[in-house]
Structure 1
Amino acid sequence: MRETPGITPGNKTEMSWIDRIIRFFLEKKIVAFLMILLFVGWGLAVAPFDWNLRGFPRDPVPVDAIPDIGENQQIVFTKWMGRSPQDIEDQITYPLTVALLGIPGVKTIRSYSMFGFSTIYVIFKENVEFYWSRSRVLEKLNSLPAGTLPEGVQPSLGPDATALGQIYWYTLEGLDKNGNPTGGWDPQELRTIQDWYVRYALLSADGVSEVASVGGFVKEYQIDVDPDAMRAYKVGLGEVVAAVKMSNVDVGARTIEVNKAEYIIRGIGFVKSLKDLENAVIKVNDNVPIYVKNVARVTLGPAPRRGALDKEGTEAVGGVVVVRYGENPLAAIKNVKKKIEEISPGLPKKTLPDGTVSQVKIVPFYDRTGLIYETLGTLDTALAEEILVTVIVVIIMVMHLRSSILISGLLPLAVLMCFIAMKTFKVDANIVALSGIAIAIGTMVDMGIVICENILKHLDSADPDQDRLEVIFRATSEVGSAVLTAVSTTVISFLPVFTMQAAEGKLFKPLAFTKTFALIASVIVALTIIPPLAHILFTRKEKRGI
């Protein structure tokens, strides 16, 4: 058998690293088949599309409709009820802003002073890790010098979410068994159900950072004092306030031993009803206790509010679900919906005067799932159609059925490898990222065409006694460096995109990443998978035709 220059035992060490890789996979076809199985299984497990794989383990790439172009920020929220915006600015916003500016990595700070509260947005540099910045902000807030803020004012850190974290809005409505609105629930009742039942249940769903209540009235105890009664009983307003505060306190004490048994002593003062407040003792005059009910009227009523939730012209009560930073928005919404299904049967119900049974239901009015599925559905269809058209074009132009099937069949493999890279490098699947794969399909298939065409050419011109493996190796090696160079120049052309910063970088980098992943995947397939399969599928003197 005639030896081929460059691959004889004597000069095998002169082969380039590309040639060594090609020869290794040609000689060790089992490795190539194991790679195919690995990439297919792993790619299906992390694919962002909602495929029904019948129990196949899934850990998909995080999915959203658009890239999150929000800034790397933390929010500090501070309440000081009843104070003017100027007081808030001078005594809360400005001192906090000055203190927070000293945190490492802070780029800028934006603040808003409103009536009764202050909101401060601490913007960090993009290279600062999100949870590291949260810990630094908390550290600074906990180490503020005494007297920095007014007495009783405590700043709080916002949820660990981004500016685009609102994924699900809902309202609480009374519905009959047929799903028709019934009414019969006042905003105060619905807000109480939202605050003390629904909110805590949805917070327990995986991936949820915050569930904010919106609309309705917060129920509170209201004490309306009678000035004439206070004058008659010689009671001051401060005494009434102090008595109310002390009435809602549980007091602990020591233990006593009676008949060799130990008893725990405690004073129970937790307010459970209006009567508990009404019977709170303000003071004692001539051994006669003066109760709150003697000088004031105690009722349950709505707390003052500024703003409301409107749904189709009607006041409503609801909540906003915010996804945690770094979580999969689509998976978080699914978890929220599962939790809603769990708690829905236990929501309160009542019988209205007309005999209709009305039960509180959670009714969504903003669900990002629809937008995500519409976006992914469009790209899923586009990718499938593009691959199909590419297959048809390859079959027609190459005019060789087996090579056309080989090229086209490995195209989905390269796409699955791209999904693996997206999962590994934490590139979320969205309309921009998946578009990078779509626009790379044509370039991906070019490499397979070049390799297969050269293999067919060498097989046609090879002597009958030549080893078919050596012919395929020589054909692949001949164009391998050129294919790799072509891909490298394309990847290098994306370097300016990778250097983009801020919002434009977050918007366009996913496309550059996915197209680069697709091109690299196609090179790997072309140099390691196609030659071994060509050695199995192709014979000598291949006849062109479909």
Structure 2
Amino acid sequence: MVTPSMSSQGHGMAGRLASAFINSRLTPLLMLVSILLGVGATVILPREEEPQITVPMADVFVAMPGASPQEVEQRVTYPMEKLIRELPGVEYVYSTSRPGESMVVVRFYVGTDPEDAIVQLYTKLYANLDRIPPGVSNPLVKARSIDDVPILALTLSSSSLEATELRRVAAQLDEQIKQVDDVAETTLIGGLRRELRVELDPSRLAAYSLSPAAVAQALAAHNTASRTGQIDGDLKSIPVKVDAFLHDPKELGQVVVAVRQGRPVYLSEVANIVEAGPDPATYVLHGTGPALESGHEAGLQQAVTISIAKRPGANAISVAEAVLAKMDKLKETYLPSGVELTVTRNYGETAAERSNELLYHMGIAVVSVTLLIWLALGRRESAVVAVAIPVTLALTLATFVLYDFTLNRVT
């Protein structure tokens, strides 16, 4: 005979469900499985400091060479803003007009499907190409997302290397970082790109009856590479390639730009060749104080930063650890003497700290509530709470895995 306290008669659905679990011998096993699922979920869930929020964004670039900012604003930016605002789901439109260029930033409402938003934007712009004024380029659309924010920043600094050499070292490391799993995009900030600049001398050009266009044509013909054929034999096929790319000032100066009276005219005779980079658009300086223990010299040094973004849904901690582990292996091979590698941003480390802090506070909350129930209602009721809350939290974390959520301090 079932006791009145254990009977399900007279109870609603919740009462019958509770009674079934109370009387079932599988309940302890289900509780244990729930706890194990929760522990497993905390291990495999991607950890982030902030939740994955779907906010579709896009940058639209339009060029109008030779136009002033006022002309760009009136003829390009305002009409394009008006056109984009007609799209459904657009929340904000920001614009910047610069000499010869217009940039419009489009942001859609939270929760809008990113693919649908970008397709609608493309369709709207390219359906109105007939409205583009003369001298204006077609729009270039670049989609943006929350995951474009870098999770890791590595800074190379040196007091002995030139800015061009420092950027070259950073570019070599950048190619290796791109091979790490779940790395979506990398960006080099600072330094100078290496360039060979040809400064033509008008008087010397006139002496040889040469025009700048003729010199440019000769340079284009010499600075190329092509496959000329292959050599077959002995069960082998060897491709033959002519590589005529120009790499240094001396080689560039030996380019023949014309023939006058049976004598070749070299580029060095009509121009000055300078090895330099373009005017820098960004500057990066890395400074350390005298108390730093790693042996750096105190003061500012020129630097180049490599920013690294992860793929959507990837674990920020795992990606950051994988990149740093690869950097430890590549230091001896790719870093010359006098170059220091410093981690100036590690989103994975902060995400781990926030996630661990969240789990710690959840544990404190469970213990605190259990103690309060014990003091107010008694030992039996507090035991029920001490079991029910962890099981509920564990099942919640297991559900996060099914819905591809991340472990963060918000959700």
Distance 1:187 1:340 in 2: 21
Counterparts in 2 of 1:245 and 1:113: CA distance versus 1, 3 Å: farther
| TM-score after normalising by structure 2 | 0.78
Does the residue aligned with 1:320 lie in a helix, a strand or coil? strand
Q: Which residue of 1 aligns with 2:331?
A: 344
Counterparts in 2 of 1:95 and 1:249: CA distance versus 1, 3 Å: farther
Q: Which residue of 2 aligns with 1:317?
A: 304
Letter in 2 for 1:113: S
C-alpha displacement of 1:236: 1.0
Letter in 2 for 1:413: V
Q: Which residue of 2 aligns with 1:385?
A: 364
Q: Which residue of 1 aligns with 2:292?
A: none
Structure with greater strand share of residues: 2
Counterparts in 2 of 1:224 and 1:124: CA distance versus 1, 3 Å: same
Letter in 2 for 1:187: A
Of residues 169, 192, 196, the one that matches 2:168 is: 192
Q: Which residue of 2 aligns with 1:212?
A: 187
Letter in 2 for 1:368: Y
Letter in 2 for 1:418: T
The 8 Å contact of residues 47 and 355 in structure 2, kept in 1 or not, is answered as no
Q: Which residue of 2 aligns with 1:44?
A: 39
Q: Are 1:169 and 2:153 matched, yes or no?
A: yes
Paired residues, number = 399
Q: 1:368-379 counterparts in 2 under 5 A?
A: 368-369=347-348, 371-379=350-358
C-alpha displacement of 1:235: 0.9
Counterparts in 2 of 1:15 and 1:335: CA distance versus 1, 3 Å: same
Q: Are 1:269 and 2:265 matched, yes or no?
A: no
Distance 1:221 1:153 in 2: 29
Q: Which residue of 1 aligns with 2:397?
A: 419
Distance 2:273 2:191 in 1: 21
Counterparts in 2 of 1:95 and 1:185: CA distance versus 1, 3 Å: farther
Does the residue aligned with 2:246 lie in a helix, a strand or coil? coil
Letter in 2 for 1:430: N
Q: 1:52-67 counterparts in 2 under 5 A?
A: 58-64=43-49, 66=50
Letter in 1 for 2:387: G
Counterparts in 2 of 1:80 and 1:252: CA distance versus 1, 3 Å: farther
The 8 Å contact of residues 61 and 423 in structure 1, kept in 2 or not, is answered as no
Structure 1 residues 53-108: Cα deviation after superposition (integer angstroms, max 9, x where no partner): xxxxx3214321x4577943122356788875346546765676567567664444
Of residues 375, 379, 390, the one that matches 1:396 is: 375
Bigger RCO of structures 1 and 2 (CA < 8 A, at least 6 apart): 2
The 8 Å contact of residues 70 and 163 in structure 1, kept in 2 or not, is answered as no
Does the residue aligned with 1:29 lie in a helix, a strand or coil? coil
Does the residue aligned with 2:280 lie in a helix, a strand or coil? coil
C-alpha displacement of 1:301: 0.9
C-alpha displacement of 1:345: 2.6
Distance 2:89 2:37 in 1: 37
Distance 1:320 1:205 in 2: 14
Letter in 1 for 2:57: Q
Q: Which residue of 1 aligns with 2:58?
A: 74
Q: Which residue of 1 aligns with 2:103?
A: 119
Does the residue aligned with 1:322 lie in a helix, a strand or coil? strand
Structure 1 residues 118-171: Cα deviation after superposition (integer angstroms, max 9, x where no partner): 432121233322244345556777888599598896865546532882333331
C-alpha displacement of 1:342: 3.3
Q: Are 1:129 and 2:88 matched, yes or no?
A: no
- Comparing 78-87 with 124-133, which one deviates more in the overlay? 78-87
Q: Are 1:244 and 2:219 matched, yes or no?
A: yes
Does the residue aligned with 1:212 lie in a helix, a strand or coil? strand
Structure 1 residues 299-348: Cα deviation after superposition (integer angstroms, max 9, x where no partner): 32121123412333543221222344444433433333233223323223
The 8 Å contact of residues 161 and 324 in structure 1, kept in 2 or not, is answered as no
Q: Are 1:21 and 2:17 matched, yes or no?
A: yes
Larger Rg: 1
Counterparts in 2 of 1:116 and 1:197: CA distance versus 1, 3 Å: farther
Counterparts in 2 of 1:103 and 1:115: CA distance versus 1, 3 Å: same
Distance 2:249 2:328 in 1: 35
Counterparts in 2 of 1:319 and 1:159: CA distance versus 1, 3 Å: farther
Counterparts in 2 of 1:131 and 1:371: CA distance versus 1, 3 Å: same
Distance 2:194 2:134 in 1: 27
Any unmatched runs of 5+ in structure 2?
A: 288-299
- Comparing 244-253 with 133-142, which one deviates more in the overlay? 133-142
The 8 Å contact of residues 161 and 209 in structure 1, kept in 2 or not, is answered as no
C-alpha displacement of 1:112: 1.1
Letter in 2 for 1:321: I
Distance 2:342 2:190 in 1: 14
Q: Which residue of 2 aligns with 1:51?
A: none
Structure 1 residues 347-394: Cα deviation after superposition (integer angstroms, max 9, x where no partner): 2314xxxxxxx3x33212233345434434543333222222222223
Letter in 1 for 2:160: G
The 8 Å contact of residues 387 and 411 in structure 1, kept in 2 or not, is answered as yes
Counterparts in 2 of 1:268 and 1:206: CA distance versus 1, 3 Å: closer
Any unmatched runs of 5+ in structure 1?
A: 48-57, 175-182, 351-357, 434-509, 511-546
Counterparts in 2 of 1:276 and 1:228: CA distance versus 1, 3 Å: same
Does the residue aligned with 1:18 lie in a helix, a strand or coil? helix
The 8 Å contact of residues 58 and 106 in structure 2, kept in 1 or not, is answered as yes
Q: 1:138-537 counterparts in 2 under 5 A?
A: 145=129, 148=132, 157-158=141-142, 160-162=144-146, 165-174=149-158, 183-194=159-170, 196-251=171-226, 267-312=242-287, 313-350=300-337, 358=338, 360-369=339-348, 371-400=350-379, 404-431=382-409, 433=410, 510=411
Distance 2:115 2:243 in 1: 41
